[in-house]
Copies of this chain bind each other. A is one copy, B any other.
């Protein structure tokens, strides 16, 4: 079959790869309904994470179960399933605490930018829908696997509440999903920081009430203005750079939490600054599995449409263009027809 391999900086290829097989009795093989490129795929693509050997790419997935290992009991061939990019047993103490992304058996999904993929820990990881979903919902169902689940986690980590004010730093796909999550949780004022027209429009569609295009000191000043000089009740940091974290801290009111879901690159936090600003922090790889049943419900009932975040659709053969478009910010997120 065709699959996606990253060979080095800006060298991603669609090429012939072996079909996945059941390796352990807890595995499942799924036939993907669609796949996509993640913002985090761009870290190694850009050479910011080292690539020492060719790597099978893709960790967001949904599709039909093709085959299951002998120990798998909760899903069966023919069912439509979605799973998180973090594979988890969903039974260990960390999973039961709601942090499946720190599961004791945690593995990270790979090889999902392809027509078939192996999903280890299938029982703990996969959630089946009651019936086969209509095709038009596939993009939104695919979004729950990572990008929506991650934005949702950021909003959950800061306990966005009815009527509250929320600042979202970052207008990538995750930030836009953070806007959607905050809106679903009842935030009254959702301030999206973005300087790109197409992303601003999507943020507004997902529930943003204000757009701030300024950055740095100017951005902080506008946020303060928009929150009556107080700062936001909650902040979602969806980038992972020192500047974006700085922006997040400066946007938070004393006692507010920052939910940070962009993998921090070069972020050092000064203890005394956080202490005196009374800024709370909770982040990490999102425990998407915790939220999946609820998110699938919202999509299947057509209450949310996170699939709109895909603004470029390409056949798998053109995966390299899918990466390039995101790298150059021509696309927010690329959906791959597999």
Contacts and interface: CB of A to CB of B under 8 A. Distances in A.
Contacts of A17: none
A149 to B, nearest CB: 15
A254 B260 CA distance: 15
A268 interface: yes
Contact of A254 (B99, B157, B245, B265): B99
Contact size range, A: 35 or more
Contacts of A102: 254-255, 278
Interface in A249-276: 253-255, 257, 260, 263-272, 274-276
A8 interface: no
Interface string A179-191: 0000000000000
A47 B74 CA distance: 63
Interface stretch (A51-59, A124-132, A279-287): A279-287
Nearest to A282: B280
A227 to B, nearest CB: 9
Contact of A283 (B230, B253, B275, B283): B275
Nearest to A97: B255
A103 to B, nearest CB: 9
Given A264-B271, A267-B271, A272-B263, A284 B94 contact: no
Contacts of A268: 268-271
25 contacts: A94-B230, A94-B253, A97-B254, A99-B255, A101-B278, A102-B255, A102-B278, A240-B271, A255-B287, A257-B282, A263-B272, A264-B271, A264-B272, A266-B271, A267-B270, A267-B272, A268-B269, A269-B269, A269-B270, A269-B271, A269-B274, A274-B281, A276-B284, A278-B283, A280-B280
Interface of A: 93-94, 97-99, 101-102, 157, 228, 230, 233, 240, 245, 253-255, 257, 260, 263-272, 274-278, 280-285, 287
